[in-house]
């Protein structure tokens, strides 16, 4: 208890003219405020109260993401502290783990490789010199258009070079308002809380397991293909290094944070581990595979109260389990795939049959994101390969039926622009929404990819898929293809409200590979011309950068004369270890045997090693591909680096043309190979 205020103290205080004035003024202000408030009309008062409540609600809603950002800042500050002391300092290991040995800067592969030796040595640049001063504004591909932010406002390059590129004349841009800054990565996890069981799949017998592929077949390549031994081994080294970080600091969790030696959770499904399974099999990493398999057998449970994103879970987890089942023949992967597939089914219970973005796999409920009833077009049209394969294996048609219904609906939907689709579709009406932006990048990319790949998967019998694909490529040629001024590079830009923008996401670099795959399957030869030209552009997006790594988004100069083709805006200079360019290089090499595609892939791998490799294990996304002295590590290794990027690099360097031949397998959009079904008899 505090003693009551002494009267003489109050008197004394009030005798002080300043205090008294202040006291009286305060009283007066309070009274006049109250009078003013009373003078307001009822409507005005209600309006003010309503606004205050709204502010409070908005504040509460955004609190979790803001506090997440604060946590992120403190992570990075911690790293900065460590970095100040230098990587050589003895760092305390994660609780319960042995201290990780210090990994020296990676020189071994380059030293072993004659091509690398022939190159002039670049000055040594310390890997991951400094963190950006500011935390990134994550530029994820999935988020509502209403929450997109002006790119120029949020500078992501961590204090790198200012954007000095001139505004291109003749380029009509509306790019800034198209920047997406809100992540869908908002899943809340109540770890290990058992809930009511989800609806399970019809209990039918699975198809007989396919004969497994021998992982040592890949190893045999090493003995016979001298030209590529060191390159294949370099990919294995990279994988082992990435895996070491994951194993030491993130085992069983979704993603490794290699700088802070911790992990991040998205769905709580061991995302990196499951995404990596088939890569380990293909690379012949038997021990690692066995350990990961045992985790899947004993630890991986889908019976948990967690909201997952339907698309991401399908392509990474369901796709990873199905392909690993095919490669290894191990029943456990099919069992897990069936369990997961059945738990994802509630997403399709919508008025339009266009699935919701999020499913709670424990509760069996689904919903759209908080801010909209829209789903992303690429998301609802890029789950078909996996669900169809699940039906094929289980002889249970329910999975195939729901995704084929989506394809059928989208096929006949008005609102396409010469085969190009908008980015959103409404789950109530089943109609496209937010029309006007047409891109081969974020939110639409894999729609095009899956048209072709489903057609191939189904033995080239589903004409509506081929028809949509061919029409879309004509739409691309008509509306989106341009050439840069300086080097006449071919680009695929975007239409924003029917105006062209010379902007190309790195995601678009899946296109050369897909076009080449189409031509390999008998589609028009001129698609290959476009593929060759685009492949060059995608490579230049790496080569023209100071780190040899592509930005997330490139803008191109359409003006003639000298100068740079690729222009990087400050907010777009990050690299997330994405696979699309090396994916396309794999297809281009397989179909043309032109060795330059392998050399380009080799250059890219070396740049990853130089600027994204973290000494103690793992690779990290970086914030600024233009600043080799300060690439700005982001402390995150995406699961697709192991699931896709390293797998495609390995397949690119392998001389074994039968290893996952595109005549026998179709790769899902997360690089998980699924078998092509035998054609039905004519």
Active site residue 638: no
> 């592929």: which residue's tokens?
213
By beta-carbon proximity to ligand DMJ, the closer residue of 100 and 403 is 403
Six-digit token pair at 190?
A: 């109540």
Quote the Cα angle for 520-525-531, to 5°: 75
By beta-carbon proximity to ligand DMJ, the closer residue of 201 and 322 is 322
Six-digit token pair at 563?
A: 């100068």
Q: Which residue is nearest to ligand DMJ (CB)?
A: 669
Catalytic residue among 330, 445, 494, 505: 445
Nearest of 101, 88, 166 to residue 485 by alpha carbon: 166
Could you tell me the smallest distance in angstroms from the CB atom of residue 51 to ligand DMJ?
A: 40
Pairing verdict, β 499-501 and 494-496 = antiparallel
Active site residue 658: no
Could you tell me the smallest distance in angstroms from the CB atom of residue 449 to ligand DMJ?
A: 7
Distance CA 166, CA 162 (A): 12
Distance CA 656, CA 667 (A): 17
Could you tell me the smallest distance in angstroms from the CB atom of residue 625 to ligand DMJ?
A: 15
Could you tell me the smallest distance in angstroms from the CB atom of residue 445 to ligand DMJ?
A: 6
Q: What is the number of other CB atoms lying within 10 angstroms of the CB of residue 364?
A: 19
Six-digit token pair at 277?
A: 């399974």
Could you tell me the smallest distance in angstroms from the CB atom of residue 195 to ligand DMJ?
A: 27
Contact in structure between 441 and 507 (CB atoms under 8 Å): yes
> 């729901």: which residue's tokens?
402
Torsions phi, psi for 152 (to 5 deg): -70, -20
Catalytic residue among 312, 339, 374, 670: 312
By beta-carbon proximity to ligand DMJ, the closer residue of 175 and 583 is 583
By beta-carbon proximity to ligand DMJ, the closer residue of 513 and 579 is 579
By beta-carbon proximity to ligand DMJ, the closer residue of 450 and 500 is 450
Six-digit token pair at 591?
A: 């179909």
Distance CA 248, CA 200 (A): 35
| Contact footprint for ligand DMJ (CB under 6 A) | 446, 507, 578-579, 640, 644, 669-670
Could you tell me the smallest distance in angstroms from the CB atom of residue 539 to ligand DMJ?
A: 17
Q: What is the number of other CB atoms lying within 10 angstroms of the CB of residue 324?
A: 29
Contact in structure between 175 and 503 (CB atoms under 8 Å): yes
Active site residue 299: no
Distance CA 434, CA 372 (A): 11
By beta-carbon proximity to ligand DMJ, the closer residue of 271 and 306 is 271
Q: What is the number of other CB atoms lying within 10 angstroms of the CB of residue 123?
A: 5
Could you tell me the smallest distance in angstroms from the CB atom of residue 142 to ligand DMJ?
A: 10
Catalytic residue among 75, 275, 278, 580: 580
Contact in structure between 539 and 526 (CB atoms under 8 Å): no
Catalytic residue among 163, 552, 572, 627: 552
By beta-carbon proximity to ligand DMJ, the closer residue of 288 and 670 is 670
Active site residue 312: yes
Q: Which residues are the active-site residues?
A: 312, 445, 552, 580
């Amino acid at each position: 208890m505090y003693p009551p205020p002494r009267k003489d103290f109050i008197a004394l205080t009030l005798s002080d003219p300043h205090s008294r004035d202040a006291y009286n003024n305060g009283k007066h202000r309070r009274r006049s405020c109250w009078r003013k408030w009373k003078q307001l009309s009822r409507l005005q008062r209600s309006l003010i109260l309503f606004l205050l409540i709204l502010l409070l609600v908005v504040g509460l809603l955004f609190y979790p993401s803001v506090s997440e950002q604060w946590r992120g800042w403190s992570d990075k500050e911690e790293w900065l502290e460590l970095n100040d002391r230098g990587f050589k300092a003895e760092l305390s290991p994660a609780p319960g783990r042995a201290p990780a040995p210090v990994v020296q800067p990676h020189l071994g592969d380059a030293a072993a490789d004659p091509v690398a030796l022939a190159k002039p040595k670049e000055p040594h640049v310390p890997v991951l010199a400094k963190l950006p001063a500011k935390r990134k504004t994550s530029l994820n591909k999935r988020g509502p258009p209403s929450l997109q932010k002006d790119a120029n406002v949020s500078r992501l390059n961590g204090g790198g070079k200012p954007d000095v590129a001139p505004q291109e004349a003749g380029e009509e841009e509306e790019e800034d308002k198209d920047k997406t800054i809100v992540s869908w990565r908002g899943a809340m996890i109540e770890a290990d809380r058992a809930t009511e069981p989800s609806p399970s799949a019809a209990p039918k017998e699975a198809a007989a397991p396919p004969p497994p592929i021998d992982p040592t077949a890949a190893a045999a390549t090493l003995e016979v293909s001298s030209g590529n031994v060191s390159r294949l081994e370099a990919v294995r080294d990279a994988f082992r290094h990435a895996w070491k970080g994951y194993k030491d600091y993130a085992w069983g969790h979704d993603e490794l944070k290699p700088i802070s030696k911790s992990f991040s959770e998205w769905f709580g499904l061991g995302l990196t581990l499951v995404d990596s399974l088939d890569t380990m099999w293909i690379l012949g990493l038997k021990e690692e595979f066995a350990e990961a398999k045992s985790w899947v057998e004993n630890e991986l449970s889908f019976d948990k109260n967690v909201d997952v994103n339907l698309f991401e879970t399908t392509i990474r987890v369901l796709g990873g389990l199905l392909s690993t089942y095919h490669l290894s023949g191990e029943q456990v992967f099919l069992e897990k795939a069936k369990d997961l597939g059945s738990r994802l089914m509630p997403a399709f219970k919508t008025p339009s049959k266009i699935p919701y973005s999020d499913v709670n796999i424990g509760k069996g409920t689904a919903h759209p994101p908080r801010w909209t009833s829209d789903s992303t077009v690429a998301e609802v049209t890029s789950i078909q390969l996996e669900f169809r394969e699940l039906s094929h294996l289980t002889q249970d048609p329910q999975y195939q039926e729901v995704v084929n219904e989506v394809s059928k609906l989208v096929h006949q939907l008005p609102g396409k622009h010469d085969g190009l689709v908008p980015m959103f579709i409404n789950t109530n009406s089943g109609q496209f929404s937010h029309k006007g932006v047409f891109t081969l990048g974020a939110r639409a990319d894999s729609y095009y990819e899956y048209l072709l790949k489903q057609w191939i998967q189904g033995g080239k019998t589903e004409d509506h898929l081929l028809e949509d694909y061919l029409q879309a490529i004509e739409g691309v040629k008509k509306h989106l293809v341009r050439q840069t001024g300086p080097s006449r590079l071919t680009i695929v830009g975007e239409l924003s409200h029917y105006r062209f923008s010379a902007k190309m996401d790195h995601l678009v670099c899946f296109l050369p590979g897909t076009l080449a795959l189409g031509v390999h399957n008998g589609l028009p030869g001129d698609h290959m011309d476009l593929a060759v030209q685009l492949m060059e552009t995608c490579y230049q997006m790496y080569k023209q950068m100071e780190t040899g790594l592509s930005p997330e988004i490139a803008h191109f100069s359409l003006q003639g004369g000298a100068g740079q083709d690729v222009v990087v805006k400050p907010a777009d200079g990050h690299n997330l270890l994405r696979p699309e360019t090396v994916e396309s290089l794999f297809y281009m090499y397989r179909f043309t045997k032109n060795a330059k595609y392998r050399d380009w892939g080799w250059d890219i791998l070396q740049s990853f090693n130089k600027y994204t490799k973290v000494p103690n294990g793992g690779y990290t996304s970086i914030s600024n591909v233009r600043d080799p002295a300060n690439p700005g590590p982001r402390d995150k290794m995406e699961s697709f680096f192991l699931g896709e990027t390293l797998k495609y690099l390995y397949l690119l360097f392998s001389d074994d043309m039968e290893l996952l031949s595109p005549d026998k397998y179709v790769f899902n959009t997360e690089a998980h190979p699924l078998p092509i079904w035998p054609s039905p008899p004519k």
